[in-house]
Amino acid sequence: MKQDPASILMTHLQLTILLVAAMSAMAPFAVADEPTGRDSARENLNKAAQFSALQPASNKDRFDFETERMRGTIRLDGAYHGVTELVDKATGRQVINSKLSALNLYRLMSVNRVMGVPRYMNRTTKSAINWVEATWPPSDAHLGEVTSRHQGQVTARYQISSPQAIDLTITVESRGTYAGYELFLSNYFDKSLIPYVYLKPVHGSKQSSRDLVQPIVPTVNDVFRGTLLVFPRDAHAARLGLDGRWDLTDIQLCPVRHYADCLAVLADSERKLGVVLMSHPRDCFALSTRYHAERDEDRLTTYSAFDLSLFGNDLLPDNRRTVKVRLALTALDENMSQPLELYRAFVSERDAERDPVNLQEVAK
C-alpha cells in the first residue's frame, strides 16, 4: 500500500524517537561533565526529533516548516531555490522578498571565470526527517554567463537547527583545478529592512578596542553609488572580486572596509526584529550588500539584500570542502546585542565541529 509523504515523514520521526529511547536505555553511566561519543550521537538524534518540522508541500521539492518562533517554506526547485518564505511569528512579518529567496546558490566562480549558475543547472533532491538537500552534478554545457564548465559536485543541505534558525551546509567535491574558488550565495529580503555590518576599526583611529565595534548602516554615497559594496575579510580577500570573475556582468564591485565579524544583520525601522546571517570567517571571505537609502530613487535595488562569498581557497581534483551558513530571527534590544551573541555561539559551534577530538568521536 502506497503511503503519502506526510505519513512516511511521521513514521521516520517515530522511529527516531524510539531509537533515542533505546540508546538512552543501553548507554553506560557517564559523568555529566564528560560527554561520551554515545552522548553526542544521542544529542544529535534528540535535536533531529525536536526540530524535524519540515513537511512536504503539494510540490515534491517544496517543504513547509513551523517552530514556536517561525514558519516558512524551503524550495529545492527553480531559479530561486532556498528559503522563499520566513515569517516571524511574534510579529507576523514575512522577511523574505516575495519574488525571490534567501540562502540561494547563485554563481560558481574562480579567477577570471564563471563555471556555473546553480539557479539554472539541473539538480537532484532528497529529504530526511529534519533536512532537505539539493545536489548539482558537474555541468556538461555552457549556459548564459558561464565561461567554462564546472568540474565538481555541489550539495546544499537545509536544516532547521533551532526554533529560530535555518542552517545551510554546502559541500563541494572538486574534479578540476580552481584558483580562488567561490560560491556566491544570495539572500533577498523585504525592502523595508535596514542592513547593518560589523567592521574593523580604521588604522590610526581612536576606536581601537574590539569591544567598541558597533553595527554600522552602509548608506548611499556618490562615491560608490551604483556599485555593490563588498566588506572583505582582509586585503587578500578584497582582491578576489576584482580578478576578472565579474567582468562579463554589469555589476561593479566596490571593496571597502574589512569586516570585524562575518555577520550581516537586517532590522526593521524600530530595531525590534532582526534577521541575522552568519558564517565562520574561514568559510566566508567577503560580505556584500545594497547600501541603504531613504528615497526609492537612491536605492540600488527594490529589495534589501546580503551576499556571502564562500570558500575562497584553491581547489584541486578530489578536494572536498564544506562550509556552513546560518539564517536566524531574533528580537532586538536597544544595543542590538542579540546578533553578536548568536554569532559567537555559532562560531564556537563551528570551531568545535572542526576540533580533531570531536572529529574522532564522530568517526567512531
Q: Answer whether 71's CB lies under 8 Å from 88's CB.
A: no
Q: Answer whether 260's CB lies under 8 Å from 202's CB.
A: no
Backbone φ and ψ of 154, nearest 5°: -120, 130
User: From CA 20, how far away is CA 17, in angstroms rounded?
Assistant: 5
Query: How high is the pLDDT of residue 211?
Result: 64
C-alpha cell at 280: 565562520
Query: How high is the pLDDT of residue 148?
Result: 78
Query: How high is the pLDDT of residue 13?
Result: 47
Query: How high is the pLDDT of residue 207?
Result: 54
Q: Domain boundaries in the chain?
A: 1-52, 53-363
C-alpha cell at 202: 580604521
Query: How high is the pLDDT of residue 142?
Result: 59
C-alpha cell at 151: 568540474
| Sites in the chain below the pLDDT cut of 70 | 1-53, 141-145, 203-211, 355-364
Q: Minimal CA–CA distance to 245: which of 182, 307, 186, 305? A: 182
Q: Minimal CA–CA distance to 47: which of 13, 78, 75? A: 13
Q: What share of the chain is helix, strand, coil (3-state, %, to 5)?
A: 20, 35, 40
Per DSSP bridges, beta strands 194-199 and 228-232 are unpaired
Alpha helices in 1-85 (DSSP H): 5-26, 37-51
Backbone φ and ψ of 214, nearest 5°: -125, 155
Query: How high is the pLDDT of residue 354?
Result: 78
Domain 53-363: assigned CATH number? 2.70.98
Query: How high is the pLDDT of residue 25?
Result: 40
Query: How high is the pLDDT of residue 34?
Result: 40
β-sheet with 113-116: strand ranges across: 113-116, 104-110, 182-189, 304-311, 284-289, 228-232, 253-255
361 C-beta neighbours (distance < 10 Å), count:
16
C-alpha cell at 294: 531613504
